[in-house]
């Protein structure tokens, strides 16, 4: 009997220790947690905006895009946790310390380093089965293929100190069109767009309040990123998103409809740039320009957008390569004007 009591006592101790270890994995030290300027854009919807519309640099430590969270009933879902382990930790700790929420889901909307490398800060919770990192199958495959190179690239421009301790953590749960994520009482529908901003883009849609998380599909004030995308595919995807009539969009920009009958301005801004890019390239082809003349294709209306100098020329190359077969089919036989493939 004495032996059995000792065994039961030991089992209780081990169970309590295990529970404590599990709890500690999700319980940050709030005395040391750096605060985050979370802005409430709707009940339960929070956004951490970058300080400036800018390109990645040591000054901004890689954060050039909004990071958002959905919070209800003590649970949190994070959309695109940022560029580094340190950013991810700030997200995790601030949600616990400022909003009293434990992160249960991290959503990777697409495979760009400045959006997904923050997964690193949630690896321990993922390993314990306390958190899922979710993405489409295409995004997970792209991360597996590219993230090592992307981490090296981001470190070279944001700085080693900003990227300290960052490691690649892949999604463990694949989601696709029509599935639902539940955060307390909030239900988010999963949408999937292929071959648009990237090879595979995941969106979240809350129909009750017409709130959309658009990942990298909607921009404003910053030149869109076409490195792994399709100009025609992106333009084809936008009407589907517009048809839902969202009143609030969190994407590469935070955008709110000015009135009940209007769309958030990021729709018009994104469409305007992509249409202007397409038209300018087709006009250049009609004028007899070739791949060596792409530097002459400028869009002055967008010269004031962040990233114009760094990214617009690259977008021209990418779009030229995509549109050339279409133009040749429309105009008949001609000498090819192909340019080399480009990557991010």
Interval 188-231: pLDDT, tens: 999 999 999 999 999 999 999 999 999 999 999 999 999 999 99
**Hey, what domains does the chain have and what are their CATH numbers?**
35-331 (3.60.15.10)
Please give the pLDDT value at position 236.
Answer: 98
Q: Is 117 helix (H, G, I), strand (E, B) or coil?
A: helix
Q: What is the pLDDT of residues 319-336, one digit of tens each?
A: 999 999 999 988 754 433
Angle at which helix 265-286 crosses helix 231-242, to 10 degrees, equals 150
Q: Please, are residues 189 and 204 in contact by the beta-carbon 8 Å criterion? A: yes
What is the rounded CA–CA span in Å between residue 119 and residue 115? 9
What is the rounded CA–CA span in Å between residue 147 and residue 111? 8
The region, left, alpha or beta by phi > 0 then psi within -120 to 50, assigned to residue 296 is: alpha
Does the pTM exceed 0.75? yes
* Averaged pLDDT of the chain: 90
Kindly state the average pLDDT of the residues 23-51: 82
């Amino acid at each position: 009997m004495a032996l059995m009591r000792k065994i039961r006592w030991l089992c209780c101790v081990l169970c309590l220790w295990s529970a404590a270890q599990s709890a500690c994995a999700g319980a940050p030290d709030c005395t040391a947690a750096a605060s985050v300027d979370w802005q409430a854009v709707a009940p339960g919807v929070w956004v951490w905006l970058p300080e400036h519309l800018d390109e990645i640099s040591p000054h901004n430590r890689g954060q050039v895009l909004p990071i958002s969270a959905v919070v209800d009933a003590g649970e949190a879902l994070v959309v695109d946790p940022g560029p580094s382990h340190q950013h991810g930790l700030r997200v995790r700790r601030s949600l616990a310390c400022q909003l009293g929420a434990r992160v249960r889901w991290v959503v990777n909307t697409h495979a760009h380093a400045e959006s997904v490398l923050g997964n690193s800060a949630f690896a321990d919770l993922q390993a314990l089965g306390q958190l899922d990192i979710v993405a489409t199958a295409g995004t997970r495959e792209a991360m597996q293929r590219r993230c090592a190179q992307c981490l090296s690239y981001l470190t070279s421009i944001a700085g080693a100190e900003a990227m300290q301790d960052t490691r690649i953590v892949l999604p463990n749960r694949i989601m696709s069109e029509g599935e639902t994520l539940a955060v307390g009482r909030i239900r988010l529908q999963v949408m999937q767009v292929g071959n648009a901003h990237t090879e595979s883009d995941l969106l979240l849609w809350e129909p009750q309040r017409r709130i959309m998380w658009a990942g990298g599909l909607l921009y404003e004030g910053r030149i869109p990123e076409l490195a792994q995308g399709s100009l025609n595919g992106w333009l084809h995807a936008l009407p589907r998103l517009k048809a839902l009539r969202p009143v609030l969009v969190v994407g590469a920009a935070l955008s709110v409809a000015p009135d009940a009958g209007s769309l958030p301005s990021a729709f018009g801004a994104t469409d305007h740039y992509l249409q202007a890019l397409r038209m300018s390239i087709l006009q250049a082809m009609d004028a007899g320009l070739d791949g060596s003349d792409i530097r002459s294709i400028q869009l002055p209306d967008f010269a004031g957008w962040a990233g114009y100098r760094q990214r617009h020329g690259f977008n021209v190359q990418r779009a030229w390569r995509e549109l050339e077969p279409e133009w040749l089919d429309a105009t008949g036989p001609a000498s090819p004007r192909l340019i080399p493939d480009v990557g991010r």
